[in-house]
Amino acid sequence: MAPVELIRPRVAVSSCLLGAPVRFDGGHSRDRFLTDELSEHVDWVPVCPEIEIGLGAPRQTLRLERSADGPRLVTRRTREDLTAPMTALAAERAAALADVDGYVFKSRSPSCGLHGIPVYAGESGPADRRGRGIFAAALAAARPELAVEDEGRLHDAVLREAFVERIFASARLRALLAGDWRPRDLVAFHARHKMQILAHSPAAYREIGRLVAAAGERAGTAPARDVLAREYERAFRAALATSATVGRHVNVLHHCLGMIGRELDPVRRADLAEVIASYRARRVALTVPLALLRHHARGAGVGYVRDQTYLSPYPDALRLRNHVPA
């Protein structure tokens, strides 16, 4: 197998996070990780739902209020109900953004917030702080497979790494399925991603393996290929949406060690096993055993391990696996 090319993900993002002056006060919420680090590796698709439904900047502040039909998005001063246009825009955008690999929403926004948005009981009642922004909730419901986060949660090293891993995996799959692929191409794609899938979900690893094993028999016609592609995409995205754990990473690291171990002398095998044990004991970051694995896989010429996306699921420059697990 040839090394896997890193495809640039297409990522929708709240415009204010890239520095656009579209907030209620005419300002922005520029996020340095997005603009200074991730921007070098992704193609942004900026979205500001408030501007798109005709509100200006600056504008009245908005909030969510409880109703029998669910949260309503209203302007604080004039009490205008914007729920219908905002929900309609979300449906329109969900269709238009069918080719994006992820979405970064603005946190704490009654339109775009994903977590902990206050939903008030009328003009002066108490707030339930478990709501979601109207636009974000509708879009996420329309695209349940999409990797979504807000910029606040991306400050957490584990959540940041998981989100970035998902958008790059999605981009690679999108590039494959957009072309004139054949069953052998899907088999090759899956072979490169096996260890990455295993790190997230051993059950999905087995399920997708059975799906791919039957690819040659099932994909003889274009309609059959489309069905297979949808099934693979659903299973693949669901697998990577499952959180990887230290234990599952250790399992994958040992799988890889087993595949290259016979090419190493006893001292090198012992060194690699010791580093994996240090990671399992939470004394070193995942990058440490991965760096050794990559080095030995290349040096020993073990192409199957060398070309696994698990070893480099996104650009190394993002430095996302450098944290020691808690």
**Segment among 47-61, 141-155, 267-281, 291-305 with least mean pLDDT:** 291-305
Taking every pair of C-alpha atoms in the chain, what is the biggest distance, in angstroms? 75
CA R_g for the chain = 22
End-to-end CA distance of the chain: 35
Which of 202, 224, 241 terminates a domain? The answer is 241
| Contact present, 147 and 103 (Cβ < 8 Å) | yes
Asked if residue 89 belongs to a domain, the reply is: yes
Same-domain check for residues 107 and 34: yes
Name the 3-class secondary structure at 81: strand
Domain, as residue range, for 198: 180-241
Residue 48 has pLDDT above 50, yes or no: yes
The pLDDT tens digits for 193-224 are 999 999 999 999 999 999 999 988 887 788 88
Confidence of residue 6 (pLDDT cuts 50, 70, 90): confident
- Clarify whether residues 204 and 264 are in a common domain: no
Tell me: the pLDDT tens digits for 113-126?
999 999 999 777 78
Pair 189, 283 in one domain: no
Choose the final residue of a domain: 191, 226, 241: 241
- 57 with 23, same domain: the answer is yes
Q: Which residues pair with 10 in a beta bridge?
A: 43
What single string gives the DSSP state of each residue in 306-318? Answer: HT-GGG-SS-GGG
pLDDT at 2 over 70: no
Helix (H) or strand (E) segment spanning residue 142: helix 134-142
Domain count within the chain: 3
Write the CA distances from 290 to 34, 183, 197, 252, 258, integer angstroms.
25, 30, 16, 11, 14
Kindly report the average pLDDT of the chain as a whole number: 94
Residues 150 and 61 in one domain: yes
**What DSSP assignment string belongs to 225-273?**
HHHHHHHHHHHHHHHHHSPP-HHHHHHHHHHHHHHHGGGS-HHHHHHHH
Looking at 217, 241, 265, the residue that finishes a domain is 241
Is 36 in the same domain as 147?
A: yes
C-alpha closest to that of 234 among 216, 209, 208: 208
DSSP annotation of 37: I
Give me the sign of the Cα torsion angle 68, 70, 76, 79.
negative
In a domain, 20, yes or no: yes
pLDDT recorded at residue 124: 72
Lowest-confidence region among 26-35, 52-61, 209-218: 209-218
Q: How far from the centroid of its chain's Cα atoms is residue 197's Cα?
A: 14
233 and 259 inside one domain: no
Q: Is residue 32 part of a domain?
A: yes
CB-CB contact of 272 with 256 (8 Å):
no
pLDDT bracket for residue 1 (50, 70, 90): very low
Residue 241 has pLDDT above 50, yes or no: yes
Instruction: For residue 3, name the pLDDT band (cuts at 50, 70, 90).
Output: very low
The reply to whether 99 and 189 lie within a common domain is: no
